[in-house]
Amino acid sequence: MIEQAIFQSEHLLEIAMLYGRRILEATAVLLIGLWIIKMLSRAIRRLMELRHIDDTLRPFLISLFDGLFKVMLILSVLGTLGIQMTSFIAVLGAAGLAIGMALSGTLQNLAGGVILLLLKPYKVGDWIETQGFSGTVDSIQIFHTHLKTGDNKTVVLPNGGLATGSLINYSTEPRRRVEWVFGIGYGDSFEHAKKVLSELIAEDDRIQSDPEPFIALKELADSSVNIVVRVWVDAANYWPVHFDMNEKVYRRFDQEGLNIPYPQMDVYLRKTES
């Protein structure tokens, strides 16, 4: 009886020494790992500041890396304790797959938001056109981008489609080309119309001389002789110059006796005797 008690005591002591050592090792791994993660998070934060990563994206990326590092640390600690990780990793992988399939659309928008904030095809304040909408970028969030349309409506666009689709950014370049097509009647002089258009362009200081304005006869249409006019302006002056020139041409052509034709159809009625 005494020998059995001694044997049990020795056995318990061996178990305590074995698991006590593992617990101490796991505790050391945990503490050192947390310190390393803290240092890595600081380094990542500084790197993002040096690379001028978007302020909206920084907290998300830092949290993402921090979470990944901590998951790896937990697996290391469990392995140090002697816990078999094969089944645990299999269950974790299956759960991750199920969650990923359930949140496929959300994850796509999340990935799209990260790509947009990293590559920056547009920024807040840019005027863009995409997916049938156009407006000023009001905010870029992790899952969605908000646009303000010209009539002050808010359009919420998923980032997944923006990251993989086509879009036009009208604010990227400092200059834009304005193009008009003006029609005159077949009995009017093209040279006269060209001279009038050249004078109107020269009078507008917002129109740039380099590249120099382009005026040419575009086509002989059914009801008019169409003249194309192309000039370069600062991006901020695009619409003011566009609308002002339309008004000036309408008034000046009338003063110069140049007709602005409109589509018309002549119908002839012929009477036949029965």
Domains and CATH numbers, the chain: 2-102 (1.10.287.1260), 121-169 (2.30.30.60), 175-255 (3.30.70.100)
pLDDT in tens, 95-143: 666 655 554 556 777 788 878 877 888 888 899 999 889 999 988 887 8
Q: Which two tokens stand for residue 150?
A: 């010209």
Does the predicted model carry a pTM greater than 0.75?
A: no
pLDDT at 2: 54
Is the pLDDT reported for residue 34 higher than 90? no
pLDDT in tens, 69-103: 887 888 777 777 766 666 666 666 666 666 555 54
pLDDT at 36: 87
Numbers of helices and strands, H then E, in the chain: 7, 9
pLDDT at 177: 95
Is the pLDDT reported for residue 44 higher than 60? yes
Q: How far apart are CA 44 and CA 36, in angstroms?
A: 12
pLDDT at 100: 57
Quick one: pLDDT band at residue 29, thresholds 50, 70, 90?
confident
pLDDT at 78: 75
**Contacts for 246-255: CB closer than 8 Å, 24+ residues apart:** 246/180, 248/200, 249/180, 249/182, 249/197, 249/200, 252/196, 252/200, 253/182, 253/184, 253/193, 253/196
Axis crossing angle, helix 57-80 with helix 2-50, rounded to the nearest 10: 160
Element (H, E) at 175: strand 175-184
Q: How far apart are CA 142 and CA 121, in angstroms?
A: 15
